[in-house]
Amino acid sequence: MKKRFLSLPNQRDYQYGYKLAYKLASSELAKIDYIEKLCLKSGAQFKLIGSQKIITLEFLNRSYQIRFPDIDVSLIDSKEPVPLRDKLLILHYLRWAKGSPITNKVITFRELPEGASYFPNFSQRAIMPLLDNFGQEPHRLLAAAEKLGGHKADYGDAAVTINAFSRVAITLVLWQGDDEFAPRGSILFSSTISDYLSTEDIAVLCETIAWGLVRALRETEQPPFLGGKQ
């Protein structure tokens, strides 16, 4: 039977769409009785505490847990609320994981299912924030990526690879702009990424990473507070 993805909603449908998608994803997971197999395929950890099943996994350099059967997604060692969009990505990754290892072969967004037709939207959402904030000084990307668990990659003028999940690697590449040429950017994926996330999920994940890097950049540029009135 062909695998059916519960894709994340379009940006225009934020609140209603995300709530509906989360309800559907939670309902599907709650019906599954082979949770341990999902953990093996996704690289997550499983434990049983009394009658409650708990899954733990890493997402963008932070630890999360999912409690069954109520499907509650929360950060470990933090009471910070988890954005609904992040919860959906976590549930989708766990639900559809095939267990394929990350490969050295990389592909572009256009090579994903329906990626070519969706690329203009993807570029606006995920690549443009990188170009606007790092394009003239791509070396700043490296320090910002460290906060998301990223490490240097050998592409372009500056590149980083971020393991969004244990088996989902995202590589962001920048070429510096100058007086003659505008900055350029690309995002590359392990060729097995579609074994874990749908194309729309991948777009949302990359957008999440891009803005996470922008926030990290702005935090590092904030001057230190030395006391007194601001």
How do the domains of the chain map onto residue ranges? 11-96, 106-221
Is the whole model's pTM more than 0.75, yes or no? yes
β-partners of residue 185 are 174
Q: What is the pLDDT of residue 14?
A: 54
How far, in Å, CA of 54 to CA of 51, rounded? 10
Q: What is the pLDDT of residue 4?
A: 38
Q: What is the pLDDT of residue 15?
A: 56
Q: What is the pLDDT of residue 10?
A: 47
Residue 209 CB neighbour total at 10 angstroms: 23
Are the C-beta atoms of residues 195 and 100 closer than 8 Å to each other? Answer: yes
Q: Strand runs (DSSP E) across 94-226, as ranges? A: 106-108, 151-152, 158-165, 168-175, 184-190
Q: What is the pLDDT of residue 13?
A: 46
In 3D space, the residue among 62, 61, 60, 88 whose CA is nearest the CA of residue 73 turns out to be 88
Q: What is the pLDDT of residue 11?
A: 47
Are the C-beta atoms of residues 148 and 60 closer than 8 Å to each other? Answer: yes
Are the C-beta atoms of residues 154 and 137 closer than 8 Å to each other? Answer: no
Which residues of the chain register pLDDT less than 50? Answer: 1-13, 223-230
Q: What is the pLDDT of residue 42?
A: 96
Q: Sign of the CA dihedral 6, 12, 14, 20?
A: negative
